[in-house]
Amino acid sequence: MNENSLEQRLREDGRQSKKEMPDIVRATIDRTLANLSELHDAPESRNQDVSPAKSRRLLKLLSWRIAVYTSIAGLLIVLIVGTVPAVAKALSRIPILNSILHLQGDTGLKQASEKGVTTEINQSVANNGVIVKITDVLYDGSRLSIGYVTESLDGERAPSDMTFSVSVDGQVIQSNRSGIGSEIGHTFAGVIQFITEKEFPETIRLNLDITHIGNQDGRWNFEFPVTKLNGSSGVQTYLPMKSKTASPITLTIKKVGFTPSATVLDTEMIRPKSSYGSYPNVSFHLIDDRGMIMKHLSASGYGDANGSNEIVRQTSLYEPMDHHPNSIRILPYTRPSTKIPEMHKWRVVPDHKPTNENPIIIEPGGSDLFRLVITKLDFTSEATTVAYRMENNPDIFSQNLYMEDETGNERLGKSKIKYIDPTHYEFESVYPPYDPKKQITFVYSYGDVNVITFDELEMSIPIR
């Protein structure tokens, strides 16, 4: 590829996006409520709309509510002020008591909670008929995550949208933040997350000041100490400072970190200043030494002008690794189109047990979109395992293979992805156990999204 080919591709693809400034942040947080399937109220997911503020006040309403619950039950219940019954019921279904980070967090937060490295807070404040409880917190040097629950004392729909500010040692955090949560009965359980641009001290004093919840003004103020995870908790940091240039872009891998909740990648990219219809957003595949593409969790970044160039600094979080790799590979990619992809679905009912020699194939007739080859289908008392490979499709994020039972209910699984080359991937998906005598249907959904990898900027980073 000649010197100007990458620049030409970037400009052409950038024009398709029609965006004046690049969206550096593509934050995604996994949600799961699998352990809540027996609750009669199906959870409704809602992203949080959050903004800065401050205040404090306390009403003594909670003791009355606890007394009512106690008399109805006819039991003596010893509760921390602010315990929400519906959420307590939900939390009893998971192994980590009072961990909203486990209940609502992404893959990394769940694993960190299971390892016992999160900090239990269990502080509650009631004000103007709304209770807020902070359950647990995690700070691993790269992100600060806060689990919380809200409940309306009148039994109406749980309030969720909040106006708040978070301070560390008296300084308001200006880092990019995100939130996620779900309704559980008449309560709302959520996670507030900050990807920190700079590291805080080993021990910090954190203040969460809420001034508005739902349609209710008030004051819900919390303050508590938080200790950063360190090497004894499995935190390791490497500073490769390795750069590579493919005109007009220079990419530097500044930091690679491993924590109980995430694999962390800090990058710096120097490129010509963005203008209307020009350079597209760039994200990164992180591939371990076994060829597995690590699942992306979230990202945060910002850009500064430097003469005719723009310097884009980004922190990307991926699921935590289950081993210490000898090296990792970083492969940049972009999605030039910002449109929501149209989803297509194909179904196939297995008529034989698939093997490498006799696979089950999903391939749209007369289409070069993809070729999905299923090579294994195993049933045990603990799980249903499916192995398959994807051919002729460079976009792993548009892929979703799941199963339907004989009544049409979806059976979702967890997948591991192995990178072969830019258009070939291998997968192994694990689903809940299923009776092999009953009919199943493989369903493959595909969103037609244009994805371009920048092989010229791919780098291998030794971890030592």
Residue recorded with tokens 């045990």? 380
28 in a domain, yes or no?
A: no
- 3-state SS assignment for residue 88: helix
What pLDDT score does 399 carry?
56
**How many Å from the N-terminal Cα to the C-terminal Cα in the chain?**
32
Q: Could you tell me the CATH number of the domain that includes residue 371?
A: 2.60.40.1640
Share of the chain above pLDDT 70, in %: 70
Whether 29 maps to a domain, the answer reads no
354/329 same-domain check: no
Q: Are residues 270 and 218 part of one domain?
A: no
Contact partners, residue 323, CB within 8 Å, separation at least 6: 288
Mean pLDDT value across the chain: 75
From 208-212, 367-371, 399-403, the region with the lowest mean pLDDT:
367-371
Cα within 13 Å of Cα(21), Cβ side? 9
Q: Which of 229, 250, 284 is the last residue of a domain?
A: 229
Domain that holds residue 45: 34-229
With cut-offs at 50, 70 and 90, classify the pLDDT of residue 3. Answer: very low
Task: Give the Cα separation of 384 and 441 in Å (integer).
Answer: 13
Residue 272, domain CATH? 2.60.40
Query: For residue 285, is it within any domain?
Result: yes
Provide φ and ψ at 200, rounded to 5°. -90, 170
Answer whether residue 402 is part of any domain. Answer: yes
Report whether pLDDT(308) > 70.
yes
Where is the domain boundary, 206, 229, 252? 229
Any idea what the CATH number is for the domain that residue 179 is in? 2.60.40.1630
- Boundary-marking domain end, from 195, 210, 229: 229
The total number of structural domains in the chain stands at 3
191: amino acid identity, one letter: V
DSSP single-letter state for residue 62? H
Residues 357 and 291 grouped into a single domain? no
246-275 mean pLDDT: 90
Say if residue 384 is in the same domain as residue 319: no
What is the radius of gyration, based on Cα positions, of the chain?
A: 24
